[in-house]
Amino acid sequence: MRAAVVRTFGGPEVVEIADVPVPEPGVRQVRIKVAAGALNPVDAASRAGFFGGAGKTIGLGWDVAGTVDAVGAPAAWNAGDAVVALVPGVAEPLGAHAEYVVVDAGAVAAAPASVDAVHAGTLPLNGLTALQALELLDLAPGAKLLVTGAAGAVGGFAVQLAAHRGIEVVGHARAGDEALVRSLGAARFTADGVERGAVDAVLDAAVLGVPALEWVRDGGAFVAVRDGVLPETERGVRGENVWVRADGAQLAELVRLVDAGVLTLRVAEAYALEEAAKAHARLAEGGARGRLVLVP
């Protein structure tokens, strides 16, 4: 089968399409015939060597939408089931950007019925990151939350999920994104920030760090969505990183919210798997509103 991999670290040009064996599911695993999967900044980080692995073949891709192809018993899935899943961590040698991928059965959820596979393939990583970040913040309805990067993938999901929970959301993004951020459910918008201590919590999807920490009230909460990027907290502010984890039950809840119209899945452009290097180059340009998606 074909898979997008890197064997040396660098820019988009190091991404190659390799012929590799079809993986076999083990106990409580399923093999998914991949229909689509989003390209995310974490894939660019893997490609650049941020996670290490020099001298190894590194597979790319964390998001998958597709169809169950084979099951390692016991697993509560059947061949032909349309599903989505998170392929967590840096994969050696295979990730989700391949024709087939094997995942633990507990990472899988039935695919949304209301969207196609290209859109469904944008949900797992960013949706779970936003949901798990909100769990860490643990805000009650009526609390004030500022989301940085509110026009992006994680930030956009966070705005929608928080607003659905009755949280008052301030969306922080570029001025040109105000209409988009408000359409996602933000009660307020800012391109410049807010006064010191003006909100109960910040979900820092844009990785602003210290400046965003200033906006949290004394005793509030701050969650950063990039591993290891967390400013030193002060004034009793609780600070945490969200370490995204595969969770089929949480993913199923996100799917339910997609089908209920609560969550919006945004696709900027789809590329054939053979165009993976081109898609990486587009990601490096920045500015896409919606995910780039690879289609085997």
Map tokens 């999920």 to a residue.
Answer: 161
Give pLDDT tens digits for 110-125. Answer: 999 999 999 999 999 9
Q: Across residues 244-253, what is the average pLDDT?
A: 97
Kindly list the structural domains of the chain, giving each domain's residue range(s) and its CATH number in brackets, ordered by start. Answer: 2-122+265-295 (3.90.180.10), 126-241 (3.40.50.720)
As a whole number of angstroms, the distance between CA 61 and CA 284 comes to 16
User: Which pair of structure tokens corresponds to residue 92?
Assistant: 């050696």
Question: Percent of the chain beyond pLDDT 70?
Answer: 99
User: How far does Cα 246 stand from its chain's mean position?
Assistant: 11
What is the arithmetic mean of pLDDT over 177-184?
A: 98
Q: Is 234's pLDDT higher than 90?
A: no
Q: Give mean pLDDT, residues 239-266.
A: 97
pLDDT of residue 73: 83
Q: Per-residue pLDDT for 228 more than 80?
A: no
Residue 63 has pLDDT above 80, yes or no: yes
225: which residues sit within 8 A by CB, 6+ positions away? 129, 133, 154, 203, 204, 205, 207, 241, 242
**pLDDT tens digits along 209-223:** 999 999 999 999 999
Would the pLDDT of 53 be above 80? yes
Q: Quick one: pLDDT band at residue 227, thresholds 50, 70, 90? A: low
pTM, two decimal places? 0.96
Which of 27-31, 78-82, 92-96, 257-261 has the lowest average pLDDT?
92-96
Helix%, strand%, coil% for the chain, nearest 5: 30, 30, 40
Distance CA 247, CA 161 (A): 17
Q: By CB neighbour count within 10 A (0-12 exposed, 13-18 middle, 19+ buried), where does 138 fall?
A: exposed
Determine how β-strand 108-110 pairs with β-strand 100-104.
unpaired
Site of tokens 């391949």: 98
pLDDT band, residue 151 (cuts 50/70/90): very high
In three-state secondary structure terms, 52 is: coil
Phi-psi region of 7 (alpha: psi -120 to 50; beta: other; left: phi over 0): alpha
Higher pLDDT among residues 229 and 142, named by residue: 142
